[in-house]
Structures are given as C-alpha cells and as structure tokens.
Chain A
Amino acid sequence: MTVIFWIIAAVAIGSALLCITRKSPVASALWLVNTLFQLAAIYVLLDAHFIAAVQVLVYAGAIMVLFLFVIMLLNLGRSGPSDIKGPWGKVIAGVGGLVLVGELVVLGRVTPPFALQQAPGTLASTVAIRGAVRIVAEPLFQSYLVPFEVTSVLLLAAIVGAVVLAKRRL
C-alpha cells in the first residue's frame, strides 16, 4: 500500500508543479483538477472515504468547473503574453518555496505537543463497522450543528455577494 501511496503522491506533486508553470490558464486549471483527483485517492488510502467523495464532487466537480467557466467568460483561454514573473521573481519564488518546505519538514518531525491519542488502526475499524458517511455525519449534526448552520448562512452570503459583484448593472 505504501507503494501505491507514493505513486499517487508523485503524480499529485508532478501535476501541481505543472499547474503552476503552465502559460495557459486552462492548462493550469486542468492540471489542478488532476492534482485534486490524486488527493482524493490519497484520502481513500487514509480511510476518509466520504471526504474523498466530497472532494471529487465539490472541489474537482464544482469549484474547478467554476474556474473554467470564468476563464471562458473572460476569454483568457488562448495563451496570451506570459504572466509568469521575470528572473528576479523566479528567484524569490524559488528561494521562498525552498525555505518554506524546509521549515515545514523540520516542523513535521517535531514531537507534537498534543498526545496522539488513538492507536493506528482505529479509524479503519470504525469505518468498517459504522460506515464512512455515518462517522462524519454524526459529529457534524450533533456536536457541530451550530457551525453547520452558520456555514449555510455563509453560503447564502456568498451567493448574494457573487451575484451582486458580477452583475453588469446593479
């Protein structure tokens, strides 16, 4: 299983790399879709089946489609003049990225201050017993009901905002 994980991870990282370096926005969007698919696969490997499904449905299926629609609307599909920054920008970006990844890796190896409570196989067995959807739905509608409702209000606000902002004439 580890081998499968590394193959999927490599593809994900590769497509992310391609995403950020393509000149055409459409190409970038499609490579990003690929990355999201790979991430969904990794979620399955991590016993987060429901989240994987939601990832494909919402992220890859809705959000990225929205991106592509906007690109189409603004007629940015053809490769215009490159929007990648010049040599100095590349240097700054490269250095920043390297430093950041180094710091994050080091931080990742630090012993977490919180105790890692559960034994490694707990989640898998819970999923097997109770089902993937149920284990997410129960906390969502019981302990985290209020954030859930608030989130729906947030979505309402987002809808209104998007409509107002994008109108041609108010």
Chain B
Amino acid sequence: MLLGPSLLVSAILFSLGVVGVLLRRNAIVIFMCIELMLNAVNLTFVALSQRIGIEGQVFVFFVMTVAAAEAAVGLAIVIALYRHRDTVNLQSINLLRG
C-alpha cells in the first residue's frame, strides 16, 4: 500500500547519504552519513517485507546489529587516528599516497 512512496523516500535518503559522504571531510560526519545510507536500505527492506514476507524484517534486525558493531569499531579507529594525527580531517590522512 505504501510501497511506492516508501521506496521513493528510501532512494532520496540514500542519495542524501551519498552526497554527505562526498561532501564532508570530517571522518565522524562521514560515518554518520553512512549510517543514514544504512537506514535508507533498512526502510527498503521493511517496505518490501509487507509484500514478500517477514524475512525482510528479520534481515533489518541483522543489519542493525552489524551496523552497531561497525559503528563501534569504526569510532574506535577514529579515536586511534585522532591520537596519532591530532585531526579527523580525512584530507590530511594520506600516508598511503602512491
């Protein structure tokens, strides 16, 4: 019933997440935009589970779990990075330059 509009909203949110990743240099803000993208995908799953089956919601459950784990580890990395380079601006973190 609300499938079409939900998919549209999900698409818009996902694109906004991508724009955010492309637009910002702060590592933590980029992380937040990635969380936004994950949520947009969750919305897609939930919307489709109305028509396909309950598996959609089960998968969302797992996505959230993994997102939590990812956020924890990712932020730990950001903290370690800050300790070394005194900044979280990704432009200055370029030791892997070829």
Direct contact of A and B (CB under 8 A): yes
Q: Name the CB-closest residue of A to B47.
A: A46
Chain A residues, CB < 8 A from B25: 83-85
Instruction: Verify A85–B75 contact, CB threshold 8 A.
Output: no
Docked CA distance A117–B48 (Å): 11
Q: Taking the complex as formed, is B93 at the interface, i.e. its CB lies under 8 A from any CB of chain A? A: no
List A contacts of B26 (CB < 8 A): 25, 76, 83
Q: B interface, by DSSP: helix, strand, loop or mixed?
A: helix
How far apart sit A165 and B20, CA to CA, in the bound complex (Å)?
26
B65 touches A104 (CB 8 A): no
Chain B nearest CB from A31 CB (Å) reads 9
**Residues on the B chain within 8 Å of A16, using CB:** 13, 16-17, 36
Taking the closest CB of chain A, its distance from the CB of B19, in whole angstroms, is 4
Q: How many residues does chain A have at the interface if contact means C-beta atoms less than 8 Å apart?
A: 84
Residues in B whose Cβ lies below 8 Å from that of A36: 39
Bound-complex Cα distance A29 to B36 (A): 11
Closest to A40 in B: B39
Q: Which residues of B contact A122 (CB under 8 A)?
A: 50
Is B33 a contact of A39 with CB atoms below 8 Å?
no
Tell me which of B57, B60, B66 has the highest count of chain A C-beta atoms within 10 A of its own C-beta: B57
Contact residues of A: prevailing secondary structure: helix
B11 CB, min distance to chain A CBs, angstroms: 4
Please state if B73 and A158 are interface contacts (CB–CB under 8 Å): yes
Annotate A149-161 by CB proximity to B: 1 below 8 A, 0 otherwise: 0010011011101
A46-B46, A51-B46, A67-B31 known; A13 vs B12 contact (CB < 8 Å): yes
Q: Does B20 contact A35, Cβ atoms closer than 8 Å?
A: no
CA of A97 to CA of B7 in the docked complex: distance in angstroms?
Answer: 16
| A8 CB to nearest chain B CB (Å) | 9
Where the two chains meet, the residues of A that have a C-beta atom closer than 8 Å to any C-beta of B are 1-2, 5-6, 9, 12-13, 16-17, 19-21, 25, 28-29, 32, 35-36, 39, 42-43, 45-48, 50-51, 54-55, 58-59, 62-63, 66-67, 70-71, 73-74, 76, 83-85, 89-90, 92-94, 96-98, 100-101, 104-105, 108, 114, 116-118, 120-123, 126, 135-136, 139-140, 144, 147, 151, 154-155, 157-159, 161-166, 168
Q: Which residues of B contact A (CB under 8 A)?
A: 1-2, 4-9, 11-20, 22-26, 28-29, 31-33, 35-36, 39, 42-43, 46-47, 49-55, 57-58, 60-62, 64-73, 75-80, 82-83, 88-89
